[in-house]
C-alpha cells in the first residue's frame, strides 16, 4: 500500500482531533455515526463536517451511509495516527521508501533526527483473510472489537514485546525501539531475506546456526511458527537475524510439536533445494549425506529441555498480557494452519528506486503534549483490553461510547459521576441512533449546562493533537 505522508504536514490540530474521535468511536462501532464523532471531538468552534470532508479527501476516512451516516478509519488514517504519535515522541522525523510488503504488513524505512535509519512495520492483520476467518469462527461473530484495528494493534504489541524479550536473551533479532497502535519501530537489518540469497560461503554453518536458533527458542519455551527463508535475514558476513514474530506460540500450545517440526522442515527443505547441501557436503555419496542430514542433525521436539513460561515476565513487562496472547492466537492459528509460507510479495524491493525521505516537520507546539500522549496511549490500551473482556457489557455492546467507558473506568470511585455519565451516555447513544442525522444540528448535542467532566476529559486526551 502506498504511504504518502505528505498530507501529514498539512493536517491541522482539528483534523487530528476528529481522526482520533473516529478511532475512539471504532471501539464499539464498525461505522462511527457522524453525530458521535462530532460529540467526541467537540471542536471548540464546530466545523466537524468540514474537517470530515478534508479527511475523506485525503483518504484517511471512509464514508458509509448505508445504515446511517458515519465514517470509519482507513489503514492510511490509522497509519497517520501512529506516525504522528511516534514523530511527536521524537522516535523518528522522516519516512522513506518501502522495503517490504508481507501479507500482513508493510515495512518502511524511517529516519531519526540524527540520520539513523530504522525500520517501521505497519501491521495489517485482517487485510487478506479477516472476512474468511470471521465467517469461520463463532467467537468473532458477536465481537465487534475483533476488528482489524484491534487485531493489528495486538499483533504490533506482541511483536514488540517478543522482540524485546528475545533480544534480552541474546537472540539475533532487530532492536525493538518503540511501538504505537499497529506500528513497530525497530533497527534496520543490513542484509537480505535468505530467500534472495543465491550463494553462501558457509552454508553448513548458516544452516547449523539457524537450526540452533529454533532449538534455543524451544528451550526458552517458544516456537516461531513461520520460521522460513522469508523471515531469516542474512548479511554479507553471513550473520543471521530472525524477524517477524506475531505468530509465535508457546511450547505448551496443543499443536506445538507440529509447529516445531514444520519450522525445522522448512529449513531443511530450503537448504536442500537452494544450497544442495547434501551433495556439496559429500559429493561422492549424496544419499548417505542426505540421510545424515535427515536423521543425524534433525532436532526432535521431545528431546529438547523446554522451559515454558521463561519469557513471561519480560513479555508482561512490555504490556503484552496472557489475554492478548490468547486473543491473537485464536485469530492467527487459522492463518498459520492455512499456509506455511505466505510472503510471496516480500521480495518487492527495487534496488534502483531510492526515494528521498519525506521529512515530517510537525507543529512544534504538539511536542508539549508528548507525555499526555503517551499516557493516553497506555490508557487506550488498558481500556481496550477491558473492553474486550466484557462480553455482557450491555451498553458497550449496544453502541456504547468508548469515551464514556474510559471515564467510568477512571472514576469508578465516584458513583455520582458514574451515574451522570451513564445517563449522558444513554442520551448520546439515543441521539446517535435516533435518526437525527442532520449534520447542521450539531449544536443540539452540545451540553448546554456547561461542559461536563465527560467532555473535558476527552478534550484533555485530545488536546495532544
Ligand atoms: P510479514 O509479517 O508481513 O511477513 P516481515 O516482518 O516478515 O512482515 O517483513 C517483511 C519483509 O520486510 C521482510 O522479508 C524483510 O525483507 C523486510 N524487513 C522486515 N523487517 C526488517 C528490518 N528490521 N530490517 C530490514 N528489513 C526488514
Ligand atoms: Mg514475514
Dump pLDDT digits (tens) for 380-427.
333 333 333 333 233 223 222 333 333 223 333 445 544 554 554 455
Q: If you search the block for the grid coordinates 462530532, which residue do you land on? A: 38
pLDDT band at 361 (very low <50, low <70, confident <90, very high): low
Least confident segment among 112-116, 215-219, 279-283 = 279-283
pLDDT in the model for residue 378: 35
pLDDT in the model for residue 379: 35
Q: If you search the block for the grid coordinates 456504547, which residue do you land on? A: 400
Ligand 1 atom 18 nearest Cα: 100
Q: Is the dihedral of CA 424, 425, 430, 435 positive or negative?
A: positive
Selected catalytic residue, list 79, 226, 324, 342: 226
Q: Which ligand does the CA of 194 lie closest to? A: 1
- Give the residue-averaged pLDDT of 340-356: 36
- Determine how many CB atoms are found less than 10 A away from the CB of residue 349: 16
Higher pLDDT, 119 or 448: 119
pLDDT tens string 92-120: 999 999 998 877 899 999 999 999 999 99
Of 309, 273, 304, 307, residue with least CA distance to 290: 273
pLDDT at 35 over 60: yes
Ligand 1 atom 12 nearest Cα: 100
Q: If you search the block for the grid coordinates 465527560, which residue do you land on? A: 454
pLDDT at 314 over 90: no
- Express as a percent the part of the chain with pLDDT over 90: 49
* Distance from Cα 136 to the centre of ligand 2, integer Å: 24
Residues 278, 272: Cα–Cα separation, whole Å: 7
Residues 236, 199: Cα–Cα separation, whole Å: 11
Mean pLDDT over each residue of the chain, to the nearest integer: 73
Q: Record the pTM.
A: 0.72
Cβ of residue 106 lying under 6 Å from some atom of ligand 1: no
pLDDT tens string 43-58: 998 899 999 999 999 9
Distance (Å) of CA 231 to CA 25, 202, 274:
36, 19, 16
pLDDT in the model for residue 259: 95
What atom in ligand 1 is closest to the CA of residue 100? 12
Tell me whether residue 226 is one of the annotated catalytic residues.
Answer: yes
Reported as half-sphere exposure (CB side, CA atoms, 13 A), residue 307 has a value of 8
Phi, psi of 129 (to 5 degrees): -120, 15
SS (H, E, C) 293-353: HHHHHCCCHHHCCCCCCCCHHHHHHCCCCHHHHHHHHHHHHHHHHHCCCCCCCCCCCCCCC
pLDDT tens string 220-264: 999 999 999 999 999 999 999 999 998 898 898 889 999 999 999
What atom in ligand 1 is closest to the CA of residue 102? 3
pLDDT in the model for residue 319: 82
What atom in ligand 1 is closest to the CA of residue 159? 6
* Distance from Cα 91 to the centre of ligand 1, integer Å: 19
- Express as a percent the part of the chain with pLDDT over 70: 62
Amino acid at each position: 500500500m502506498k504511504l504518502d505522508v505528505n498530507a501529514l504536514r498539512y493536517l491541522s490540530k482539528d483534523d487530528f482531533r476528529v481522526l482520533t474521535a473516529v478511532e475512539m468511536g471504532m471501539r464499539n462501532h464498525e461505522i462511527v455515526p457522524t453525530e458521535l464523532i462530532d460529540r467526541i471531538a467537540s471542536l471548540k468552534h464546530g466545523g466537524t463536517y468540514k474537517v470530515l470532508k478534508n479527511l475523506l479527501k485525503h483518504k484517511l476516512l471512509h464514508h458509509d451511509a448505508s445504515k446511517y451516516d458515519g465514517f470509519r478509519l482507513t489503514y492510511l488514517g490509522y497509519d497517520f495516527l501512529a506516525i504522528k504519535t511516534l514523530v511527536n515522541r521524537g522516535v523518528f522525523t522522516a519516512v522513506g521508501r518501502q522495503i517490504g510488503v508481507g501479507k500482513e504488513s508493510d515495512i518502511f524505512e524511517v529516519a531519526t533526527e540524527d540520520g539513523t535509519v530504522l525500520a517501521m512495520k505497519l501491521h495489517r492483520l485482517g487485510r487478506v483473510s479477516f472476512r474468511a476467518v470471521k465467517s469461520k469462527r463463532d467467537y468473532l461473530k458477536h465481537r465487534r472489537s475483533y476488528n482489524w484495528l484491534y487485531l493489528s494493534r495486538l499483533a504490533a504489541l506482541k511483536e514488540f514485546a517478543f522482540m524485546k524479550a528475545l533480544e534480552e536473551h541474546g537472540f539475533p533479532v532487530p532492536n525493538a525501539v518503540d511501538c504505537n497502535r499497529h506500528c513497530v519501530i525497530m533497527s534496520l537489518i543490513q542484509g537480505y531475506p535468505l530467500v534472495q540469497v543465491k550463494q553462501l560461503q558457509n552454508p553448513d554453518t548458516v544452516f547449523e546456526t539457524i537450526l540452533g536458533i529454533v532449538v534455543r527458542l524451544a528451550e526458552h519455551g517458544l516456537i516461531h511458527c513461520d520460521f522460513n527463508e522469508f523471515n531469516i535475514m542474512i548479511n554479507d558476513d553471513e550473520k543471521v537475524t530472525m524477524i517477524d514474530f506475531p505468530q509465535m506460540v508457546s511450547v505448551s500450545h496443543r499443536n506445538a510439536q507440529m509447529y516445531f517440526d514444520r519450522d525445522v522442515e522448512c529449513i531443511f527443505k530450503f537448504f536442500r533445494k537452494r544450497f544442495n547441501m547434501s551433495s556439496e557436503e559429500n559429493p561422492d555419496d549424496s544419499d548417505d549425506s542426505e540421510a545424515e542430514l535427515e536423521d543425524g542433525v534433525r532436532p526432535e521436539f521431545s528431546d529438547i529441555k523446554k522451559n515454558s513460561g521463561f519469557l513471561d515476565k519480560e513479555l508482561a513487562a512490555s504490556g503484552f498480557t496472557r489475554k492478548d496472547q490468547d486473543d491473537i492466537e485464536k485469530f492467527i492459528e487459522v492463518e498459520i494452519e492455512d499456509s506455511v509460507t505466505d510472503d510471496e510479495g516480500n521480495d518487492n524491493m527495487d534496488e534502483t528506486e531510492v526515494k528521498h525521505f519525506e521529512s515530517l516537520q510537525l507543529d512544534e507546539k504538539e511536542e508539549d503534549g508528548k507525555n499526555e500522549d503517551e499516557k493516553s496511549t497506555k490508557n487506550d490500551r488498558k481500556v481496550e483490553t477491558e473492553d474486550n473482556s466484557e462480553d455482557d457489557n450491555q451498553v458497550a455492546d449496544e453502541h456504547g461510547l468508548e469515551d464514556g467507558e474510559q471515564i467510568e473506568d477512571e472514576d469508578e470511585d465516584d458513583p455520582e459521576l458514574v451515574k451522570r455519565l451513564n445517563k449522558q451516555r444513554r442520551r448520546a447513544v439515543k441521539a446517535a441512533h435516533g435518526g437525527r442525522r442532520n449534520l447542521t444540528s450539531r449544536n443540539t448535542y452540545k451540553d448546554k449546562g456547561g461542559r461536563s467532566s465527560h467532555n473535558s476529559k476527552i478534550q484533555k486526551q485530545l488536546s495532544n493533537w
